[in-house]
Amino acid sequence: MIAGEQIVHGYFFRGCVVFQSVIFNMVKSMNKLHYGKERILYLYLIMALVSVVIVVIATWILYRASFEQQGLRLKELAQSRARLIEASFQQNISGGLSDSDIAFERTLELLRESHKNYAGFGMTGEFTVAKLENREVHFLTSHRHDDPFGTRAEHSPFSLGSEIAEPIQQALSGKSGVMVGKDYRGKLVLAAYEPVKFEDNIIGIVAKIDMSEIRAPFIDAGIVTAISAIFAIFIGTLAFRRVSDPVLATLIESEERYRQLVELSPDGIILHSKGVVVFANSSAAIMAGGSVPEDIIGRSVLSFVHPDYREFVQNRISVMMKENKKLPLAEEKFIRLDGSSLDVEVTSMPVIYMKQPAVQLVFRDIAERKSRDEERSRLVKAIEQSAETVVITDIDGNIQYVNPFFEKITGYTKEEAIGKTPRVLKSGKHSESFYENLWDTITSGKVWAGDFVNKRKDGTFYEEEATISPVFDKNGEIVNYVAVKRDVTHEKLLQRAKEYFTAVTSHELRTPVTKLKLVKKLLDEITISEEKKEKFEKVLLILDEADRSLHHVLMETELLADLSLTQTEKILGRVFIHNNLSISIDIARDSIVKEGREVNIISKSDNLPVKTEISGNNEMIKTVFDNILSNAIKYTPDGKNVRIAGRINGDFAEVEVVDEGIGIPKETKEQIFEPYYSLSNVLNYSTGQYKYKGGGVGLGLTISRMIMEYHNGELFVESDGEGKGVKVTLRFPVINHE
């Protein structure tokens, strides 16, 4: 390589390395950007820089080739001129000039003459000839260009080793070659230098050309080429954008849509690489117990896995990475940042993230779903273990489900029933209009309630109390019907027997009561002597007590019969409950005195307004008060108290009667509402309603509760056991209490 160009060459290649690093860093930066204007700008800039580099490298290669060729040409010129001078000198010697100095001078004169007719080559190329005398350089020919002294003639000599005219100094030192150095003007030139020796004299010949002339065409070509390349890139970019912008817009939209899907997904999405979380969406952060993704990024993914599931998760990851495939859904348990656990459903798949293998987890919170599943399981168990029949049909009435109790009651197995209609149970006891009414009710979206007489598989009949409800989907359309039925065969038999007994009893009692009244009337008309009058009055008194007793039994029995009959029509009016209660209390107090009892009645009804009204039957309400007060006084020993309180509680009027009597034994508490049940010995029956432990027929509480239900009210009886007294609470729906 020509001396002087080595430095330039080194700088060029160092620049290439630096530029390569710049391009590489720009590509890395571009990869971090999303598709968009910034990334396109980077792409255009990289293309322009690459184009410039290609132009520079191509220009440099051409320049190097031209430079080397120019050096060889200058070397040939210098050598040919040197050989020509040597030949001229030899010719002078052989032509009779024996003195070498004279021959040398003659040769120089010829050289100067020929030099005058030769301006040089190219724009700046020329030959220079110099000799060395006393270590000083003397130019022997005129210059083509102005020297530092403003002249083109041979100028004063300068010392060997000066910073200018480097090539001529090399030639005068006896060297031959090509170099880049400063000429006599101090300008940088490419020069070939050659020494010519004449016995005792030496001259140097230099063929040189300015470096600027060599470089100028390549610089111009490089600039033009670079501008052309950039222009071509610009035009190509415009064309490229016309084609690529729609595709790019679609790609950007797709990426943006995907990013939004990930960010807004209700499912948690996590990427982990080498066991460390490198990405998480907001849902994942929140489900993990954080607030933003940064709360969990950088943590070990296994730190979020419950200890009971870590081995299972590690095995899944190993299988996935080994087989490089997506894993199916699996239920796992995570540990949140606060230490609480979370039931999740997870799927995972291998992905590449930032040019590194990673795992993508998609998971969702299934705690609510598991709770629903457990609730559904409990419901199914409840239906399966229910002591009532449950039947589910489609909208056409085809049976889709029956519970085990259906099999027990009907005798049909589940397999026999499913696919059929409930007609298999039809007994023939109901008319077609009965079933038409049923279907009209449920198909209109209403609930049907009523009683069936159905037939078992073995042909026997049974009675059911049923409720049939439509089932709606989310659009409000009926999709199923559900029937819940209870076997009331035994209850119906008992009810009919009771109604029959009550009706017969009330009818049969009328005959002796009527006869007693007739006997009493006849006796009243008989005139009795004074001595028999006392005995006669005792007979009348006994007959009168028997009449009252039978009349009381008759009235309660008739009332029980009326309330027991389902066809009884409600005849209700406006009842002032405060007034009725006050009357019953006054009657009870008078009766206590007449009976010779010493039971204290303490009444406090200040919280029950006088104008409190309910919708009811006046006589029935009075019967309830009389029965409850009678029981309280009858079972309270003398010297004890019966407390009565009235109040308004929301939409209800409440009357509370608390006695200090004998209480109710726990083992008989469930029997007190049964007809004809009494806490007293029936053999101690007394016509006195307020006699201590006086026997009764056992209808008081039964009738009272039936009356309360008849009035849509409630009756509660509470007792802590024998000897602890009894509290009875009556609740009436109020229509006015102002």
Alpha helices in 276-354 (DSSP H): 282-287, 310-323
**Per-residue pLDDT, 534:** 64
The one-letter code for the residue type at 562 is D
- Is 165 strand, coil or helix? coil
Distance CA 398, CA 392 (A): 8
Contacts of 329 (CB under 8 A, 6+ apart): 345, 346, 347
196, burial (CB in 10 Å: exposed 0-12, middle 13-18, buried 19+): buried
**Per-residue pLDDT, 41:** 63
Residues 367, 370, 372, CA angle at the centre, nearest 5°? 110
SS3 sequence of 260-295: HHHHHCCCEEEEEECCEEEEECHHHHHHCCCCCHHH
**Per-residue pLDDT, 370:** 85
Closest by CA position to 553, among listed 565, 543, 545:
545
- Within 13 Å and on the Cβ side, how many CA atoms surround 718? 8
Tokens linked to 493: 């038999």
Residue 279 near residue 303 (C-beta atoms within 8 A): no
**Per-residue pLDDT, 701:** 81
Tokens linked to 602: 């303490």
**Per-residue pLDDT, 682:** 45
Contacts of 184 (CB under 8 A, 6+ apart): 128, 139, 143, 147, 148, 164, 165, 168
**Per-residue pLDDT, 645:** 93
Contacts of 586 (CB under 8 A, 6+ apart): none
Distance CA 348, CA 268 (A): 12
Contacts of 478 (CB under 8 A, 6+ apart): 395, 443, 445, 470, 471, 472
Q: Is the Cα dihedral 20, 25, 31, 33 positive or negative?
A: negative
| DSSP-assigned letter for residue 58 | H
Tokens linked to 380: 């199914």
Residue 540 near residue 519 (C-beta atoms within 8 A): no
Query: Pseudo-torsion of CA 166, 168, 173, 174, nearest 10°?
Result: 130
DSSP states of 543-581? HHHHHHHHHHHHHHHHHHHHHH-TTPPP--EEEEHHHHH
**What are 178's strand-pairing partners?**
192
**Per-residue pLDDT, 145:** 73
- Is 717 strand, coil or helix? strand
Strand pairing class (126-133; 136-139): antiparallel
Task: Report the chain (738 residues): mean pLDDT per 10 consecutive residues.
Answer: 51 57 58 54 69 76 83 87 80 68 74 71 85 84 68 65 87 90 88 85 88 84 78 73 70 72 84 90 90 91 91 88 86 91 90 87 88 85 88 94 92 93 90 92 93 90 92 92 88 62 53 59 61 62 58 58 52 85 91 88 88 87 89 91 92 93 81 64 53 69 83 90 90 84
Contacts of 325 (CB under 8 A, 6+ apart): 349, 350
- Is 225 strand, coil or helix? helix
Residue 391 near residue 410 (C-beta atoms within 8 A): no
Helix then strand then coil, % of the chain, to nearest 5: 50, 25, 25
| DSSP-assigned letter for residue 465 | E
Sole residue written with tokens 């029950």: 608
Largest Cα span, the chain: 222
Distance CA 460, CA 487 (A): 13
The one-letter code for the residue type at 710 is Y
**Per-residue pLDDT, 62:** 81
- Kindly report the pTM of this predicted structure: 0.39
The one-letter code for the residue type at 438 is L
